[in-house]
Amino acid sequence: MKKKNVTDIHLDFLVSALHRGLFISTDEILDWMKRQNEEVKKDITQVPLNQLHGWLCNDYQIKHHSGKFFSIDGIRVTTNYRDVASWDQPIINQPEIGFLGFIVQKKQGIMHFLIQAKIEPGNINAVQLSPTLQATRSNYTLVHKGISPLYLEYFTGEKKVRVLVDQLQSEQGARFLRKRNRNIIIEIDENEHLDVKENFIWVSLGQIKELLNYSNVINMDSRTVISCINYGNYPESSLKLLAATQKINFTALSKSESFLYSVLSSDNHIHDIQFIIGWITSLKFKYDLDVNKISISEMNHWVYDGNSIHHEHNKYFDVIGVNVSIGNREVVNWDQPMVRSAQEGLMGFLVKKINGIYHFLVQAKLEAGNFDVVELAPTVQCLTGNYRKNYNEYTIPYLEYFLDAPKEKIWYSSYQSEEGGRFYHEQNLNIIVEIGDDFPIEVDENYCWMTLNQMLSFVTYNNYLNIAARSLLSAIQLY
């Protein structure tokens, strides 16, 4: 296929993000999802961990009998980051790198994404919209002895495609041990015929972002892939010319237009990229993260009783077993362990206009499963609801700006699910709140102001923005 230059790729993504699609409306998509939900037989039942078929459960770990897929391990963490110096916890150990990928194709000049209605055992509302391909290495190498995932051949080099995005990105660092997936977007020729299966549809990027206004519709895997998209860099003079032609006054932008300006502008950043890299590097040097594997029976303050693994005070999360039956999967029945959160969490960005452009307050956050000590996270990231009752062992800077935010200052708010293949009914409030001139530009050393354009630049590289930050980035609408 003819190679595209980077500028053309960025423009194609931008046009798609500004477009509401050619074939199906948002309401029709939601109706289609409802029908998918009604038509597919599914049954997810909790069972004791020590009764999981195909899994070996003992005091040391829980693992699949094949040695593939993943295991539940115990770890002991020691660090000098923030208030808690050491803790034990269970963690998902899944060293395989899986595929999270979209096929895209231009339709009447507009790039459309092939999105799938997929049921995962942990999904709150059963069907959510996932990438074209969502498969672990164990899945697509058929360890489960099921059928091959649809459209796999487009991602393995068997078919001629154009690769537009190809990145390794981290998973939830508080739940996975150094887990990454390959986030990839490939394009097929505009004239190529592709057989669209019954639980797949073509939508624009703008429609995916529009659907993110609804809770638990777009799954985490779709969110992380589209967060990897870059829309290009433009000088302020070019953006002002665009604004003039559209009769937009930059002093009175709508929220979407303000986001668009922050996404595209290569000017007016309070900190340049070299400063931000130096800031991250200094924190990686400052903080220690030592993670040692221990048996699950050795974990302090955790109980494994054969039924589940849970904290002695029923905080944070537990690990449960489930028996799964889903009629349209590569394998229709299986057992597995899952992580179940104790409460809903909150992840949010504060935004402030600095030098005429919106900046986001980014946190350098250490989590037990991080590859490289700290990753860039939202201003506040609480994966459980302990913060609501002041049960945290550590302070949470800036939390009050989200809990007490006036309605008119909330730019985005919806509940979004964690990945339903490993997390059972876990959802977190995703929220973006604007703050005024009275909020200081000088912030704690673990925080830094960045524009959307700068964050998207860092997404290009591995293990900079964590999955919570990328989830919020994906939700930002540009129209």
Average pLDDT of span 134-144:
76
Q: Is 145 left (phi over 0), alpha (psi -120 to 50) or beta?
A: left
Average pLDDT of span 307-336:
91
In this structure, are residues 379 and 351 in contact, taking their beta carbons and an 8 Å threshold?
A: no
What mean pLDDT, rounded, does the chain reach?
91
Half-sphere exposure of 292 (CA within 13 A, CB side): 9
Residue 139 phi/psi, 5-degree rounding, is: -65, -55
User: Does the pLDDT of residue 289 top 50, yes or no?
Assistant: yes
What does the pLDDT read at residue 330?
Answer: 72
User: Does the pLDDT of residue 14 top 60, yes or no?
Assistant: yes
What pLDDT digit, counting tens, does each position of 72-119 carry?
999 999 999 988 999 999 999 999 899 999 999 999 999 999 999 999
Please state the domain extents for the chain. Answer: 6-40+95-227
Return d(Cα 137, Cα 94) in angstroms, integer.
10
In this structure, are residues 149 and 329 in contact, taking their beta carbons and an 8 Å threshold?
A: no
Q: Among 130-144, 198-212, 307-321, 367-381, which is the least confidently predicted range?
A: 130-144
What does the pLDDT read at residue 142?
Answer: 67
More confident residue, 329 or 457: 457
Residue 179 per-residue DSSP state: -
User: Does the pLDDT of residue 16 top 90, yes or no?
Assistant: yes
What pLDDT digit, counting tens, does each position of 341-381 carry?
999 999 999 999 998 899 999 999 999 999 999 999 999 99
What does the pLDDT read at residue 251?
Answer: 47
Average pLDDT of span 38-60:
93
Residue 399 burial (CB count, 10 A):
17
Q: Among 128-142, 250-264, 438-452, which is the least confidently predicted range?
A: 250-264
- Tell me the one-letter amino acid at 295: S
What does the pLDDT read at residue 410?
Answer: 96
Maximum Cα interatomic distance, the chain, rounded to a whole number of Å: 67
Name the 3-class secondary structure at 188.
coil
Token readout for 212 is 């993110």
User: 414 vs 60, 371, 376, 403, CA distance in Å?
Assistant: 39, 29, 21, 14
Average pLDDT of span 10-31:
93
Q: Among 299-303, 393-397, 405-409, 421-425, which is the least confidently predicted range?
A: 393-397
pLDDT-derived band at 391 (thresholds 50, 70, 90) equals low
pLDDT-derived band at 387 (thresholds 50, 70, 90) equals low
What does the pLDDT read at residue 121?
Answer: 93
Return d(Cα 435, Cα 255) in angstroms, integer.
13
CATH topology of domain 6-40+95-227: Nucleoside Triphosphate Pyrophosphohydrolase (3.90.79)
What does the pLDDT read at residue 249?
Answer: 47
